[in-house]
């Protein structure tokens, strides 16, 4: 122990005292570890116990439907707020046509996230039809706009358990889904290194992006299997489409949009998306995503144009999610006996 770390009057502290203190730290850590494991066991036990109570199914159906309605209401409030930031007359027909196309593309890009979740269900022994997975994912996705940023997971959990799927298997799928999304977002965030560290060129950032992406993909294949690799690939596809949509907005809004570094814009958007997703309590990353974009892209794009693009990006994502919800609500509802 260094001299500065020993209080005055305790210079005769011996190895026994140090070992005693170390033992106390280890003992406290052991207590915390056992408490955490006990909490995990309690959650797993309760989820498994709920599977054996058929009477809960109607309550779970009600919970899933309630979360869906709450999500729709919050989306309507978001669109109303965004609508106050600009008017229809601010843009010409070409710009609005491009925005509508982006909304359609983003809405159908949600199918990538759905297929990722479907592969995760298969990984954990849940074999459902593709239609059931798409409908369930789409009907619960809007709940992420409610304060808390967790209710879309709770909605999938409730609807899945109401359909007879084991609760712990659904919980594992949600945990791995969030983990893979975080990994995918982190890989794409490498493209922001030239903005943060000017010594790193974009060429080296792309090489690093490819190398780390390949290492992570091979690791997932080695330790998780093909289902997890397919899920990771679908999630990366969704992030790629989202980044291209955001960068495409500047081509619509700015005369010099074609000269902007689209890779920077894609990387910045995905980094902001990741920050919003992992921030507890931020509904769909509202506020966090905008703050990160302003920080990363400051100086590259005039602030007024950047703020307008951020608002339009939100309109596109919210409206696209709403459109995907409308699409899935028209799919034929499948009962529990079609979930194998």
- pLDDT (tens, 9 = 90+) of the chain, 340 residues, equals 444 444 444 444 444 443 343 344 344 444 444 443 444 444 444 444 444 455 544 554 455 445 445 544 544 555 555 555 555 566 778 888 899 999 999 999 999 999 999 999 999 888 888 888 898 888 888 777 766 667 777 778 878 887 788 888 888 998 999 999 999 999 998 998 888 888 888 889 999 999 999 999 999 999 999 999 999 999 999 999 999 998 888 888 877 666 678 888 898 889 888 887 777 655 555 567 777 887 888 777 777 778 788 888 888 888 898 889 889 888 876 654 444 4
155 and 294 housed in the same domain = yes
pTM of the entire structure?
0.73
DSSP state of 53: -
92 and 237 housed in the same domain = yes
- Of how many residues is the chain composed? 340
Distance between CA atoms of residues 301 and 318, nearest Å: 24
63 and 36 housed in the same domain = no
Task: Of 180, 177, 268, 269, give the one whose Cα is nearest residue 217.
Answer: 180
What confidence score (pLDDT) does residue 100 get? 92
**E strand or H helix at 292:** helix 288-296
| CA–CA distances in Å: residue 201 to residues 119, 190, 198, 214 | 36, 11, 7, 20
Distance between CA atoms of residues 17 and 12, nearest Å: 10
How many CA within 13 A on the CB side of residue 21? 6
Helix axes 303-329, 57-83, angle to 10 degrees: 150
Distance between CA atoms of residues 203 and 180, nearest Å: 26
22 and 162 housed in the same domain = no
162 and 237 housed in the same domain = yes
138 and 37 housed in the same domain = no
**Structural domain of 21:** 3-41
192 and 301 housed in the same domain = yes
The number of domains in the chain is 2
77 and 211 housed in the same domain = yes
What confidence score (pLDDT) does residue 322 get? 87
What confidence score (pLDDT) does residue 147 get? 64
What does residue 281 show for φ and ψ, rounded to 5 degrees?
85, -15
What confidence score (pLDDT) does residue 183 get? 94
Distance between CA atoms of residues 187 and 266, nearest Å: 12
What confidence score (pLDDT) does residue 24 get? 45
62 and 203 housed in the same domain = yes
Distance between CA atoms of residues 96 and 266, nearest Å: 21
Q: In this structure, is residue 46 part of a structural domain?
A: no
What confidence score (pLDDT) does residue 90 get? 65
For tokens 């995503």, what's the residue? 289
Contact 112, 130 (CB under 8 A): no
Q: In this structure, is residue 129 part of a structural domain?
A: yes
Task: Of 142, 151, 141, 140, give the one whose Cα is nearest residue 75.
Answer: 142
221 and 269 housed in the same domain = yes
What confidence score (pLDDT) does residue 77 get? 56
22 and 100 housed in the same domain = no
Q: In this structure, is residue 264 part of a structural domain?
A: yes
Q: In this structure, is residue 49 part of a structural domain?
A: no
Distance between CA atoms of residues 73 and 69, nearest Å: 6
Q: Is 269 helix (H, G, I), strand (E, B) or coil?
A: helix
73 and 21 housed in the same domain = no
What confidence score (pLDDT) does residue 139 get? 83
Q: In this structure, is residue 308 part of a structural domain?
A: yes
**Angle ∠(177,268,144) on CA atoms, nearest 5:** 40
Distance between CA atoms of residues 336 and 51, nearest Å: 13
Tokens of 175: 């945990």
Q: What is the DSSP string of 85-131?
A: T--GGGS-HHHHHHHHHHHHHHHHHHHHHHHHHHHHHHHTT----HH
């Amino acid at each position: 122990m260094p001299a500065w770390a020993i209080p005055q009057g305790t210079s005769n502290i011996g190895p026994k005292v140090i070992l005693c203190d170390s033992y106390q730290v280890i003992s406290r850590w052991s207590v915390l570890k056992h408490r955490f494991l006990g909490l995990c066991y309690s959650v797993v036990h309760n989820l498994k116990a709920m599977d054996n109570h058929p009477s809960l199914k109607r309550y779970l159906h009600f919970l899933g439907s309630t979360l869906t309605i709450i999500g729709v209401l919050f989306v309507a409030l978001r669109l109303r707020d965004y609508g106050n930031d600009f008017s229809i007359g601010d843009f010409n027909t070409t710009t609005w046509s491009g925005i509508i196309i982006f909304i359609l593309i983003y809405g159908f890009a949600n199918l990538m996230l759905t297929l990722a979740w479907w592969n995760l269900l298969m990984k954990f022994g849940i074999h459902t039809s593709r239609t059931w997975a798409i409908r369930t994912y789409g009907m619960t996705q809007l709940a992420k706009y409610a304060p808390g940023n967790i209710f879309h997971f709770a909605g999938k959990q409730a609807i899945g358990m109401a359909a007879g799927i084991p609760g712990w298997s659904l919980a594992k799928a949600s945990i791995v889904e969030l983990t893979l999304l975080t990994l995918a977002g982190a890989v794409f965030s490498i493209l922001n290194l030239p903005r943060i560290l000017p010594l790193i060129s974009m060429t080296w950032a792309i090489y690093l992006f490819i190398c780390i992406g390949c290492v992570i993909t091979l690791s997932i294949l080695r330790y998780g299997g093909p289902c997890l690799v397919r899920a990771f690939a679908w999630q990366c596809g969704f992030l790629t489409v989202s980044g291209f949509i955001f960068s495409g907005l500047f081509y619509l809004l700015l005369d010099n949009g074609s000269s902007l570094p689209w890779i920077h814009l894609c990387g910045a958007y995905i980094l902001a998306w990741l920050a919003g997703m992992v921030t507890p309590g931020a509904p769909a990353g509202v506020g966090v995503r905008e703050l990160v974009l302003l920080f990363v892209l400051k100086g590259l794009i005039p602030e007024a144009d950047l703020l307008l693009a951020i608002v339009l990006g939100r309109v596109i994502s919210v409206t696209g999610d709403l459109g995907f919800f409308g699409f899935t609500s028209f799919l034929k509802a499948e009962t529990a006996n079609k979930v194998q």
